[in-house]
A and B are shown apart, each in its own frame.
Chain A
Amino acid sequence: MADEVVKILDNRKVNEKYYKLSFCSHEIARGAQPGQFLHIQINPTLDPFWRRPFSFYRVDGDEIEILYEILGHGTAMLAQKQAGEVLKVMGPLGKPFRKAVKPKKRICVAGGVGLPPLLYLAECEDVDFFLIGAKSRSEVMPDSELEHIKGTVMYSTNDGSYGVKGYVTVLLEQILKEERPEDVFIQTCGPMVMMQAVRDLAEARYIKGEASVDETMACGLGVCLGCMVKTHAGWLPSCTEGPVFDFSQLQGSLICQT
């Protein structure tokens, strides 16, 4: 793990929803695994005050890419950054997705900002089904960003403007009708409500899987105890004990953690 000042190589809009930013770091790139994240200090001033966590989207040699969406003040500032400007980046942090799932079939279920870590996983490992939930056609990723996925890519959109109309769970239910529960392994990342729906579908069928959670995070090093997730072993910091958790670790709903 390292904490370095890096120079932005490129920072551009991919579509209506996502931006892609790249930089080089040998130290950070060499240990990176899908599901792990970077903790980025966007400005050296006090605004934004905290760092922001981003999943690895792509690692090629020393070059690292993140894919992000403007969700608030911090990411809005990040989107303004030009090539040549600098960022302070710490990583790789957190626990990655499980790599080996064979002989089971791997089903990735992604939604919104949950897309980048699963696309990175699909670049490194075989995926049988890659399901993506989006609001509408304008959020659909260009083919060039998806061509490395070895399995079947399926889209659902809320308004039906691309792929199947409805939530991504509609696609998942279709696939699960055809597959035996013991033959599949689900890995999901996206809004908590979506991941909870995926988990409900999986657990009703005794299907195993993992979810990468997205809790508000301050330190990223397991110290502040802010990004906690309720597990059968008590509240655990998602930055160091996650962000990827096995479905069986999680206690109660992901939607309202009390």
Chain B
Amino acid sequence: MSDVNLTTKIKGLTFRNPITVGSGTFGTKQDFLDYVDYERLGAMTTKTITRHPRTGNPMPRICETSAGMLNAIGLQNRGLEEFLKNKIPLFAKIKTPLIVNIAGEAAGDFQHLAEALHKEKDVVKALELNLSCPNVEEGGAGFMRKRERILEAVKVVRDATDLPIFAKLSPELGDVVEIARDVIDVGADGLTLINTLKGMAVDTERRCSRIANITGGLSGPAIKPVAVRYVYEVKQALGVPVIASGGIMTAQDAIEFLIVGADLLAVGTANFINPRATMEILDGISQYCRDHDITHIDELRGSFHHENQISG
């Protein structure tokens, strides 16, 4: 329908547009299909898959905050086996590149998942490594240990598959540019920036946390400026492919990320408020391009110029 070319290429993959979804925020049930044409998405990203099924965290798991929300779902999912058996055939029918998000407690889990998904290359087009879920116990791992574990996970996945790998990083790893560089050095093709920030909200009547897990991951527009900053810094420093994620609710938000250089845009929490958010953002990006005489999205992507501020 669009006269604007939104085609986005990353590492030999071609996406019809830059819109994908945040892991765990998008449905495959009929309820959701009523609102969204999956074939209009640039890419589809799954909820985190783990090697074994996970029951998730106790209730309450979510709470609303100012322009955002906290969640501590705890990676509830039915595990790899069920995913291969029931979900892969479903995604095989959709002509949209599939990015599978995976997480593990140890490098061995990542390796097992990567090997199994590598065999599904007809359907699975890339892997996104969830290296940053704030809601899963890591035995109190300190920063150095976390860094080692992240690099170890990327390495074993790299050895297991030639599928493009995106490492999804927490904004709370200290110098994210530095760790992003290390992650690329050990074999990741790109980064997903950012995962949620660990946060907390207190029930003032009962004087307890509003989340059973006490803390949860903050998402939504509240974290968008943090995400824009990280995408900007990593693109400036490394120039590697980036899937931007963090508070994208509108086309305007998406365009901010495109200007600082984002390759794909993951619409996450917005899907909970508006199941048609991805479609509306896509239409809005096309409209913006038409309004600004942009014929190919690459003219917009990375067009950030600090000097523009001075020249007015």
Contact = CB atoms under 8 A, between A and B. Distances in A.
Contact of A228 (B35, B59, B63, B276): B59
Interface string B256-296: 00000000000000011111100000000000000000000
A219 interface: yes
B29 A50 contact: no
A213 B273 CA distance: 21
B71 A49 contact: no
A49 B31 CA distance: 21
B29 A218 contact: no
Q: Which of B24, B29, B31, B276 has the most CB of A within 10 A?
A: B31
Nearest to A93: B31
Contacts of B58: 257-258
A228 B56 CA distance: 10
Interface size class of chain A, counting residues whose CB lies under 8 Å from the partner chain: 20 to 34
A33 to B, nearest CB: 16
Contact of A225 (B31, B76, B221): B76
A67 B272 CA distance: 24
B161 interface: no
Interface in B35-82: 35, 55-56, 58-69, 71, 73, 76
Contact of A49 (B29, B61, B67, B271): B67
Interface residues of B, number: 36
B149 to A, nearest CB: 25
Contact of B272 (A46, A48, A218, A234): A218
A188 interface: no
Contacts of B275: 3, 90, 219, 221
Contacts of B66: 47, 49
Interface in A184-230: 215-216, 218-219, 221-228, 230
Given A49-B220, A228-B59, A240-B31, A219 B64 contact: no
B35 A223 contact: no
B73 A1 contact: no
A235 B76 contact: yes
A41 interface: yes
Contacts, number: 93
B25 interface: yes
B231 to A, nearest CB: 21
A3 B64 contact: no
A51 interface: yes
A222 B272 CA distance: 10
Contact of B26 (A90, A223, A227): A223
Nearest to A51: B273
A258 B25 contact: no
A218 B76 CA distance: 16
B32 A221 contact: yes
Interface string A1-25: 1010000000000000000000000
Main secondary structure of the interface of A (DSSP, over half): loop
B64 A50 contact: yes
B237 interface: no
Contacts of B63: 216
Interface in A64-119: 90, 93
Interface in A221-248: 221-228, 230, 234-235, 240
Interface string A33-73: 00000000100001111110000000000000000000000
B59 to A, nearest CB: 4
B273 A49 contact: yes
Nearest to A258: B58
A227 B69 CA distance: 14
B92 interface: no
A48 B31 CA distance: 23
A48 B27 CA distance: 23
A228 B76 CA distance: 11
B223 to A, nearest CB: 13
Contacts of A223: 24-27, 29, 32, 271-272
Contacts of B34: 1
Nearest to A52: B64
Contacts of A234: 55
A221 B31 contact: yes
Please list the 10 inter-chain residue pairs (A to B) with the smallest Cβ-Cβ separation, ordered nearest first.
A226-B62, A219-B272, A223-B27, A258-B58, A257-B59, A46-B67, A218-B272, A221-B31, A50-B64, A225-B73
Interface of A: 1, 3, 41, 46-51, 90, 93, 215-216, 218-219, 221-228, 230, 234-235, 240, 257-258
Interface of B: 24-27, 29, 31-32, 34-35, 55-56, 58-69, 71, 73, 76, 212, 220-221, 249, 271-276
Given A3-B274, A46-B249, A221-B29, 9 more contacts: A3-B275, A3-B276, A49-B66, A49-B69, A49-B220, A219-B272, A222-B31, A223-B26, A224-B24
30 contacts: A1-B31, A3-B275, A41-B273, A41-B274, A48-B64, A49-B67, A49-B68, A49-B273, A50-B69, A50-B273, A93-B31, A216-B60, A216-B64, A218-B69, A218-B272, A221-B29, A222-B27, A222-B29, A223-B25, A223-B271, A224-B25, A226-B61, A227-B62, A228-B59, A228-B76, A234-B55, A240-B29, A257-B59, A258-B58, A258-B212
